[in-house]
Structure 1
Amino acid sequence: MNRPILHQIHPVLPVQNVLAALFFYTQKLGFEIAFADDPKDPKYAGIKRDHIEIHLQWRDDKDWDFNVDRPMLRIVTQYVDSLFEELKDKEVFHPETAVVNTDWQTREFAFYDLYKNGLTFYQNI
């Protein structure tokens, strides 16, 4: 019997407006649209950049009434400083966002998307 192998993971982030999220991820973070269930009013879409794919799913306004913790993605990258430089003028960071070395031997920076989903980009040091 063949041993099952896990190849990829496609996290699904909740968003209030898929079109706005697509704009943010493509125009600000350099992703491409992988697919969308409807070109004019998508409720579910995928974005990709290099070897990762993230899915965006519309959530009803009532789902946002509660102060629920949003997902935090940790995305492994090479050249984290170069990625930071690429994104720093795109108006996506909090003014105090910086690349830091951590106690767990990574170099990373983190910020939130339009809907408070956390994104951390890091490399091992």
Structure 2
Amino acid sequence: MLTQIHPKLPMRDKAATKKYYIENLGFEQVGSDDFPDYLMLKKDQIEIHFFLFKDIDPKENYGMVYFRVSDIDVYYQSLLDAKVEIHPNGNLQTKPWGQREFSLLNPDSNLLTFGECV
């Protein structure tokens, strides 16, 4: 039986990735720093893993994760208050498919979309 999914995304710099998710999005590290090429982060029921890919070109990175959230308006406002950069085309809005969504790009241009059913 499937019980969870933990997406794995590329990162160029472990310290920068760790800082972005912890300081901007409120994640915490899971496990140790003993592995320089791997990072695991968690927030609430969400866990994301990252693997080192120093040569990835952010302009050619198509990594994406879709997060289901509750109280999306509150979460979105908290990110704005913290001056977290929202994707230029990703402001919070209700989509025709019945989701209220917004998007961010992390330092390696992985697209992070957050959505709540309306």
- Count how many residue pairs are aligned between Structure 1 and Structure 2: 117
* Equivalent in the alignment of 1:99: 92
Q: TM-score, normalised by structure 2?
A: 0.89
Write the deviation string for residues 59-114 of structure 1: whole angstroms up to 9, x where unpaired.
132xx258534211110010011110111133332466421000110001011100
Q: TM-score, normalised by structure 1?
A: 0.84
Which stretch shows the higher mean deviation, 96-105 or 42-51? 96-105
RMSD over equivalenced CA pairs, Å: 1.9
Give the SS at the match of 2:17.
helix
- Give the one of 2, 7, 14 matched to 2:3: 7
Identity of aligned residues (%): 33
* Equivalent in the alignment of 1:33: 29
Structure-to-structure mapping, 1:6-85, within 5 angstroms: 6-38=2-34, 42-61=36-55, 64-65=56-57, 67-85=59-77
Write the deviation string for residues 13-45 of structure 1: whole angstroms up to 9, x where unpaired.
10000111000000111000012442xx72101
Q: List 4+ stretches of structure 1 deviating above 6 A.
A: none
Q: Which runs of 5+ in 2 are unaligned?
A: none
The answer (yes or no) to whether the contact 1:36–1:44 under 8 Å persists in 2 is no
* Equivalent in the alignment of 1:113: 106
Q: Which runs of 5+ in 1 are unaligned?
A: none
The answer (yes or no) to whether the contact 1:37–1:43 under 8 Å persists in 2 is no
Higher CA-based Rg: 1
Give the SS at the match of 2:30.
strand
